[in-house]
Amino acid sequence: MLLFVIAMSIAISCSILGDFFVQQGATAAKSSTNTSFLGRFFNVFRHRKMLIAVGLLTCHFAGYTLAMRLAPVTVVVPLMSCTYIVNIFLARTVLHEQVTRLRWAGVAVIVFGVIVLGIWS
Amino acid sequence: MPNPIKTPLSPKQKDQQNSKQIPLRFAVAMIVVILATSLGDVSLKGGLSQVPLPSGDPLLAIPQAVLETLTNIWVDFAILLLISQFIAWAHALRLAPYSLAIPLRASSYIFTALLALYVLDEPVPPMRWVAILIVLVGVSMVGVSGVQGDN
């Protein structure tokens, strides 16, 4: 049980930070003047933030893989959805995105679904 | 008689054309993300369940377990799918707001549950289906907020 909690904690925290750095890296790459598909593809991986994202998502993958060994896939995968709340807060506070009431309500419903799933599992 | 010579588009017209294509490109990227995530998760679980847990001397057992994991065809397939998912995900995040793309990814749960049921023969109790449906309702609400164009 303790090992599962540690694995899920690594998977969740690295997923949140990894996704955030992917967004940052992809946005930085968007401003590139390179127009060819391959040029844009490799340009994405030249950005430091994207490399950090790859490192974090690799750690997420390791934690996630371990969690998958310890619990059914239908428990591990939906538990990961608690990352959505933190990500929405990051979008609102760090990226200054407009998050409407409907979108907040949608995220709240997702979280409620996850809680139902967690209690039942 | 129509003029066969096409006039080149002005930068403003090109921007308008590109902005019209963004929802379609975002939808395609998200479909790839969702399908690759579900298939990747199930392949990973299926592959890992074929690899025995390490036992005995950790110095020998752990590297052997890592080697066996990485040489498993289903784990390799899962890694390939997860790389595809990463590329499509980076593309999707470039096209839409972060607060829209992130919750939409939760729709992969329904496909994961279906694949777990039919491919892995994992039991999915009725209450778990109810929970997954609640998650889907939340995803739909986020999707509607995106269609309304609040950003």
- The answer to whether B107 and B136 are in contact (CB under 8 A) is yes
CA distance B137 to B79: 30
CA distance A53 to A20: 8
Burial B1-25 (b: 16+ CB within 10 A, else e): eeeeeeeeeeeeeeeeeeeeeeeee
Q: What is the pLDDT of residue B31?
A: 92
Q: Smallest Cα–Cα separation from B74: which of B32, B40, B120, B117?
A: B40
Segment A43-57 mean pLDDT: 81
Segment A38-50 mean pLDDT: 69
How many CB pairs below 8 Å do chains A and B form together? Answer: 151
Mutation test of the interface with chain A: which of B33, B70, B142, choosing the one with the most A Cβ atoms within 10 A?
Answer: B142
The backbone region for B5, taken as left when phi is positive above 0, alpha when psi lies in -120 to 50, beta otherwise, is beta
Contacts (Cβ under 8 Å, ≥6 apart) of B89:
A19, A22, B29, B33, B105
* CA within 13 Å, CB half, B78: 21
User: What predicted TM-score, i.e. pTM, was given to this entire model?
Assistant: 0.73
- The answer to whether B100 and B146 are in contact (CB under 8 A) is yes
Amino acid at B10: S
Q: What is the pLDDT of residue B97?
A: 86
Burial B126-135 (b: 16+ CB within 10 A, else e): eebeebbebb
- Comparing CB atoms, the residue among B53, B91, B151 nearest residue A97 is B151
Interface residue A44 vs chain B (CB under 8 A): yes
Q: Where are the domains of chain B?
A: 16-147
Segment A79-91 mean pLDDT: 82
Q: Which is it for the CA torsion B83, B88, B94, B100, positive or negative?
A: negative
Amino acid at A13: S
CB contact under 8 A, B102 and A72: no
Stretch 78-117 of chain A: residues touching chain B, C-beta under 8 Å? 78, 81, 83-84, 87-88, 90-92, 95, 97-100, 102-103, 105-114, 116-117
**What is the SS3 string spanning chain B?**
CCCCCCCCCCHHHHHHHHHHHHHHHHHHHHHHHHHHHHHHHHHHHHHHCCCCCCCCCHHHHHHHHHHHHHCCHHHHHHHHHHHHHHHHHHHHHHHCCHHHHHHHHHHHHHHHHHHHHHCCCCCCCHHHHHHHHHHHHHHHHHHHHHHCCCC
Residue A14: pLDDT above 90?
Answer: yes
Provide the percentage of residues in chain A whose pLDDT is more than 70: 79
CA distance A104 to B130: 21
Q: What is the pLDDT of residue B151?
A: 45
Q: What is the pLDDT of residue A71?
A: 83
CB contact under 8 A, B137 and A109: yes
pLDDT in tens, chain B (151 residues): 555 555 666 656 655 555 556 678 888 999 999 999 999 988 888 888 887 776 777 677 778 878 888 888 999 999 899 888 888 888 888 888 888 888 888 788 778 878 888 887 888 888 888 888 888 898 888 878 776 654 4
